[in-house]
Protein backbone atom coordinates (compact mmCIF):
# COMPACT_ATOMS: atom_id res chain seq x y z
CA UNK A 1 0.00 0.00 0.00
CA UNK A 2 2.77 2.42 0.95
CA UNK A 3 4.44 1.59 -2.37
CA UNK A 4 1.27 2.53 -4.21
CA UNK A 5 1.02 5.83 -2.34
CA UNK A 6 4.67 6.64 -2.99
CA UNK A 7 4.26 5.91 -6.71
CA UNK A 8 1.06 7.92 -6.80
CA UNK A 9 2.77 10.91 -5.20
CA UNK A 10 5.66 10.74 -7.65
CA UNK A 11 3.24 10.53 -10.57
CA UNK A 12 1.28 13.45 -9.10
CA UNK A 13 4.32 15.69 -9.30
CA UNK A 14 4.64 14.91 -12.98
CA UNK A 15 0.89 15.39 -13.34
CA UNK A 16 0.97 18.87 -11.79
CA UNK A 17 3.71 20.03 -14.12
CA UNK A 18 2.14 18.51 -17.25
CA UNK A 19 -1.28 19.91 -16.38
CA UNK A 20 0.07 23.42 -15.82
CA UNK A 21 1.79 23.42 -19.22
CA UNK A 22 -1.34 22.01 -20.86
CA UNK A 23 -3.38 24.73 -19.15
CA UNK A 24 -1.20 27.37 -20.80
CA UNK A 25 -1.48 25.61 -24.17
CA UNK A 26 -5.21 24.82 -24.09
CA UNK A 27 -6.54 27.46 -21.73
CA UNK A 28 -4.55 30.48 -22.90
CA UNK A 29 -2.85 29.99 -26.29
CA UNK A 30 -5.67 28.07 -27.97
CA UNK A 31 -8.50 30.49 -27.02
CA UNK A 32 -6.18 33.42 -27.78
CA UNK A 33 -5.47 32.06 -31.26
CA UNK A 34 -9.19 31.71 -31.97
CA UNK A 35 -9.76 35.17 -30.50
CA UNK A 36 -7.11 36.57 -32.88
CA UNK A 37 -8.89 34.98 -35.83
CA UNK A 38 -12.08 36.55 -34.51
CA UNK A 39 -10.55 40.01 -34.88
CA UNK A 40 -10.63 39.43 -38.66
CA UNK A 41 -14.41 39.01 -38.47
CA UNK A 42 -15.23 41.24 -35.49
CA UNK A 43 -18.91 41.48 -36.40
CA UNK A 44 -19.40 37.75 -35.82
CA UNK A 45 -16.94 37.32 -32.98
CA UNK A 46 -18.57 40.15 -31.03
CA UNK A 47 -22.11 38.85 -31.23
CA UNK A 48 -23.49 39.98 -34.61
CA UNK A 49 -24.76 43.29 -33.24
CA UNK A 50 -27.56 45.01 -35.11
CA UNK A 51 -27.13 48.78 -35.29
CA UNK A 52 -29.81 51.36 -35.97
CA UNK A 53 -28.33 54.79 -36.82
CA UNK A 54 -24.99 53.53 -35.54
CA UNK A 55 -26.32 52.50 -32.14
CA UNK A 56 -26.42 48.81 -31.20
CA UNK A 57 -29.98 47.74 -30.41
CA UNK A 58 -29.32 44.05 -29.94
CA UNK A 59 -27.81 40.99 -31.56
CA UNK A 60 -29.19 39.60 -34.80
CA UNK A 61 -28.79 36.18 -33.17
CA UNK A 62 -30.69 36.88 -29.94
CA UNK A 63 -34.38 37.43 -29.61
CA UNK A 64 -35.86 40.37 -27.70
CA UNK A 65 -39.20 41.00 -26.09
CA UNK A 66 -41.59 43.09 -28.20
CA UNK A 67 -44.84 44.07 -26.58
CA UNK A 68 -47.53 46.21 -28.16
CA UNK A 69 -49.52 45.72 -31.34
CA UNK A 70 -47.14 47.78 -33.49
CA UNK A 71 -44.42 45.11 -33.24
CA UNK A 72 -44.02 41.62 -34.57
CA UNK A 73 -44.02 39.40 -31.49
CA UNK A 74 -41.33 36.79 -30.92
CA UNK A 75 -42.03 33.34 -29.50
CA UNK A 76 -42.95 32.93 -25.85
CA UNK A 77 -39.80 32.85 -23.69
CA UNK A 78 -39.22 31.04 -20.40
CA UNK A 79 -36.92 33.88 -19.26
CA UNK A 80 -38.50 36.98 -20.84
CA UNK A 81 -35.54 37.30 -23.23
CA UNK A 82 -33.05 37.96 -20.43
CA UNK A 83 -29.63 37.89 -22.10
CA UNK A 84 -27.97 36.58 -18.95
CA UNK A 85 -30.42 33.79 -18.10
CA UNK A 86 -30.90 31.56 -21.14
CA UNK A 87 -33.27 28.69 -20.38
CA UNK A 88 -36.10 26.57 -21.69
CA UNK A 89 -39.26 26.05 -19.64
CA UNK A 90 -38.38 22.38 -19.01
CA UNK A 91 -42.08 21.67 -18.64
CA UNK A 92 -42.84 18.04 -19.41
CA UNK A 93 -45.09 16.90 -22.26
CA UNK A 94 -47.99 16.06 -19.94
CA UNK A 95 -47.54 18.91 -17.47
CA UNK A 96 -50.95 20.58 -16.86
CA UNK A 97 -49.22 23.98 -16.50
CA UNK A 98 -47.76 23.66 -19.98
CA UNK A 99 -51.05 22.53 -21.47
CA UNK A 100 -52.80 25.50 -19.85
CA UNK A 101 -50.11 27.91 -21.07
CA UNK A 102 -50.46 26.63 -24.63
CA UNK A 103 -54.25 27.09 -24.49
CA UNK A 104 -53.94 30.64 -23.12
CA UNK A 105 -51.30 31.67 -25.66
CA UNK A 106 -53.38 30.28 -28.50
CA UNK A 107 -56.43 32.21 -27.37
CA UNK A 108 -54.42 35.42 -26.87
CA UNK A 109 -52.77 35.29 -30.31
CA UNK A 110 -56.06 34.42 -32.00
CA UNK A 111 -57.75 37.36 -30.36
CA UNK A 112 -54.99 39.92 -30.95
CA UNK A 113 -54.56 39.00 -34.60
CA UNK A 114 -58.20 38.24 -35.30
CA UNK A 115 -57.66 34.72 -36.58
CA UNK A 116 -59.19 31.39 -35.69
CA UNK A 117 -57.39 29.60 -32.81
CA UNK A 118 -56.65 26.67 -35.09
CA UNK A 119 -54.69 28.98 -37.41
CA UNK A 120 -52.10 29.82 -34.73
CA UNK A 121 -48.84 27.96 -35.50
CA UNK A 122 -46.97 25.86 -32.93
CA UNK A 123 -44.03 28.24 -32.51
CA UNK A 124 -46.41 30.99 -31.38
CA UNK A 125 -47.64 28.95 -28.42
CA UNK A 126 -44.44 27.21 -27.27
CA UNK A 127 -41.36 28.54 -25.48
CA UNK A 128 -38.02 27.94 -27.20
CA UNK A 129 -35.02 25.92 -26.03
CA UNK A 130 -32.91 28.97 -25.21
CA UNK A 131 -35.51 31.53 -24.24
CA UNK A 132 -33.62 33.71 -26.73
CA UNK A 133 -34.86 32.28 -30.04
CA UNK A 134 -34.37 35.12 -32.55
CA UNK A 135 -36.76 33.59 -35.06
CA UNK A 136 -40.39 32.82 -35.71
CA UNK A 137 -41.85 30.68 -38.47
CA UNK A 138 -42.95 32.36 -41.71
CA UNK A 139 -46.49 31.27 -40.82
CA UNK A 140 -46.43 33.17 -37.52
CA UNK A 141 -44.98 36.24 -39.23
CA UNK A 142 -47.63 36.17 -41.96
CA UNK A 143 -50.34 35.94 -39.35
CA UNK A 144 -49.10 39.15 -37.69
CA UNK A 145 -48.79 41.23 -40.88
CA UNK A 146 -52.34 42.71 -40.96
CA UNK A 147 -52.15 43.86 -37.34
CA UNK A 148 -48.72 45.44 -37.59
CA UNK A 149 -49.69 47.17 -40.85
CA UNK A 150 -52.87 48.51 -39.30
CA UNK A 151 -51.20 49.72 -36.11
CA UNK A 152 -48.48 51.51 -38.05
CA UNK A 153 -50.69 52.86 -40.81
CA UNK A 154 -48.79 50.96 -43.49
CA UNK A 155 -50.19 48.97 -46.33
CA UNK A 156 -49.94 45.21 -45.94
CA UNK A 157 -47.94 44.76 -49.12
CA UNK A 158 -45.15 46.93 -47.69
CA UNK A 159 -45.07 44.95 -44.46
CA UNK A 160 -45.16 41.65 -46.36
CA UNK A 161 -42.15 42.82 -48.38
CA UNK A 162 -40.27 43.60 -45.15
CA UNK A 163 -41.16 40.14 -43.80
CA UNK A 164 -39.80 38.59 -46.97
CA UNK A 165 -36.55 40.53 -46.52
CA UNK A 166 -36.18 39.24 -42.96
CA UNK A 167 -36.93 35.65 -44.02
CA UNK A 168 -34.19 33.07 -44.49
CA UNK A 169 -34.79 29.80 -46.31
CA UNK A 170 -33.18 26.52 -45.37
CA UNK A 171 -29.39 26.85 -45.30
CA UNK A 172 -27.71 25.44 -48.42
CA UNK A 173 -31.25 24.79 -49.57
CA UNK A 174 -31.90 21.85 -47.25
CA UNK A 175 -30.63 22.44 -43.70
CA UNK A 176 -32.90 23.48 -40.84
CA UNK A 177 -36.17 25.37 -41.08
CA UNK A 178 -37.19 28.58 -42.85
CA UNK A 179 -37.14 31.43 -40.32
CA UNK A 180 -38.06 35.07 -39.91
CA UNK A 181 -35.68 37.12 -37.77
CA UNK A 182 -37.90 39.19 -35.48
CA UNK A 183 -35.36 41.84 -34.43
CA UNK A 184 -34.27 42.50 -38.02
CA UNK A 185 -37.88 42.63 -39.12
CA UNK A 186 -38.97 45.05 -36.40
CA UNK A 187 -35.89 47.23 -36.96
CA UNK A 188 -36.81 47.49 -40.63
CA UNK A 189 -40.35 48.77 -39.95
CA UNK A 190 -40.64 52.44 -40.94
CA UNK A 191 -40.50 54.59 -37.85
CA UNK A 192 -39.27 51.70 -35.75
CA UNK A 193 -36.93 53.90 -33.76
Partner 1 sequence: MSDTVSGLLTIAALLTLLAVVYVPLGDHMARVFTSTRHLRVERALYRVGGIDPDAEQSARGYVLSLVAFSVVSIVLLLAILVGQAALPWDRGLPGMPWDMAVNTAVSFVTNTNWQSYAGESTLGFATQALGLTVQNVVSAAVGLAVAVALVRGFARAESSTLGSFWVDLVRGTVRVLLPLALVAAVLLLLGGVVQNLSDVTVRALGGGTQVVPGGLVASQEAVKQLGTNGGGFFNANSAHPFENPTALTNLLQVFLMLVVPVSLTRTFGTLVGSRRQGLVLLGAMGVLWAGALAVTTWAEVGGQGQAAQAAGAAMEGKETRFGEWASALFAVSTTGTSTGAVNASHDSMSPLGGGTVMAHMMLGEVSPGGVGSGLYGILVAAILAVFVAGLMVGRTPELLGKKIGSREMTYVALYTLVVPALVLVGIGTAIALPSTADAMGNPGGHGFSEVVYAFTSAANNNGSAFGGITVTSTFFQLTLAAAMLLGRFVPIVLVVLLAGSLARQRRVPTTAGTLPTATLLFGGLVVGVVLLVSALTFFPTLALGPVAEALTGAPR
Residues 7-26 that bind partner 1 (CB under 8 A): 7-8, 11-19, 21-23, 25-26
Q: Which of residues 79-108 bind partner 1 (CB under 8 A)?
A: 81-96, 98-99, 102-103
- The residues with which 167 forms a beta bridge, in sequence order, are 180
- Residue 188 touches partner 1, criterion: CB under 8 A: no
Nearer to partner 1, 10 or 157 (CB): 10
Applying CB under 8 A, what is the total number of residues that bind partner 1? 99
Cα end-to-end distance, the chain, whole Å:
74
Q: What is the CA radius of gyration of the chain?
A: 24
Select from 107-115, 129-137, 142-150, 152-160 the region that touches partner 1 (CB under 8 A): 129-137
Residues 6+ apart with CB under 8 A from 145: 156, 159, 160, 163
Q: How far apart are CA 169 and CA 164, in angstroms?
A: 10
Among 113, 135, 148, 167, binds partner 1 (CB under 8 A): 135
- Residue 65 touches partner 1, criterion: CB under 8 A: yes
What's phi and psi for 38, nearest 5 deg? -60, -25
Select from 37-45, 107-115, 150-158, 159-167 the region that touches partner 1 (CB under 8 A): 37-45
Amino acid sequence: MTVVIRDLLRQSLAAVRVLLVLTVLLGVLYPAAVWAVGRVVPDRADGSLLRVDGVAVGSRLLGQAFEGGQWFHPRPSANDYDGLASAPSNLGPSNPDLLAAIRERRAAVAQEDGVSPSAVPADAVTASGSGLDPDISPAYAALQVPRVARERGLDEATVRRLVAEATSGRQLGFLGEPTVNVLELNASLPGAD
